[in-house]
Amino acid sequence: MDKLDLLKLEYCTLREEIKETKNRIFRLAGLGVVGMPAAYFLARTYKIDALVLSLPILICTLLLLFLSETRALMRCGKYIKEEIETATTDENDKMVLAWEHWLEESPKGETDRRLVDKFLTIFFYLLFFYYYVASVYLATDSAHSKFGIYGSALSLAIYVGGGIVFIALLLSNYKGVTSTK
């Protein structure tokens, strides 16, 4: 297998991986949008306090999976851009402007070609943040009715502490999930 065949094979494999990753991202986002309210509804309907108390953890787990998939998507795009596209030249040994480079290059006056992706990612982070805050409130309220003031204070402290750690993690990874620049 020569270098060109290897590059073609890598490109096709990575584009397929990107397709599957985007599929998983939207399934995770859909699960978050629909699943979290449904889980709360079921927990309240069937009086499953443990589920209400675990909602903030479930939301964090979904957000971690979302972050992981988004990072995998960015790594694939970055590899295609930096390793495959830079090795691709035309008959005059001039680098071919391929997809990832084209996305990154926005002519003056034109909007960022990744703008919708960036807004969508920010929207899902804000939605997960809203769900986290709401689930912390609901879980703390449930802990208060089940365990009293000390139980609700302890659960609130745990959820707030976990939320701070989670926000720090997201902020440290923010650039990596918005663009390959």
Give per-residue pLDDT as tens, 75-121.
Answer: 999 999 999 998 887 788 888 888 898 888 877 778 888 889 889 88
Q: What is the pLDDT of residue 106?
A: 75
**Residues whose CB is less than 8 angstroms from the CB of residue 101 and which lie 6 or more positions away in sequence, other chains included:** 81, 85
Residue recorded with tokens 């986002």: 29
Which pTM does this prediction carry? Answer: 0.85
pLDDT confidence bin for 175, thresholds 50/70/90: low
- SS3 assignment, position 96: coil
Residue 117: CB atoms within 10 Å = 17
Q: What is the pLDDT of residue 179?
A: 47
pLDDT single digits (tens) 143-168: 999 999 999 999 999 999 999 998 88
pLDDT confidence bin for 174, thresholds 50/70/90: low
Q: What is the pLDDT of residue 4?
A: 84
pLDDT single digits (tens) 27-46: 999 999 999 999 999 999 99
Residue 29: CB atoms within 10 Å = 19
Joined together, the tokens standing for residue 109 give 């006056």
C-alpha–C-alpha distance, residues 34 and 48, integer Å: 19
* Total H helices, total E strands in the chain: 5, 0
Q: Would you say 132 and 156 are in contact if contact means Cβ atoms under 8 Å apart?
A: no
Q: Is the pLDDT of residue 25 over 60?
A: yes
C-alpha–C-alpha distance, residues 46 and 39, integer Å: 11
Q: What is the pLDDT of residue 89?
A: 79
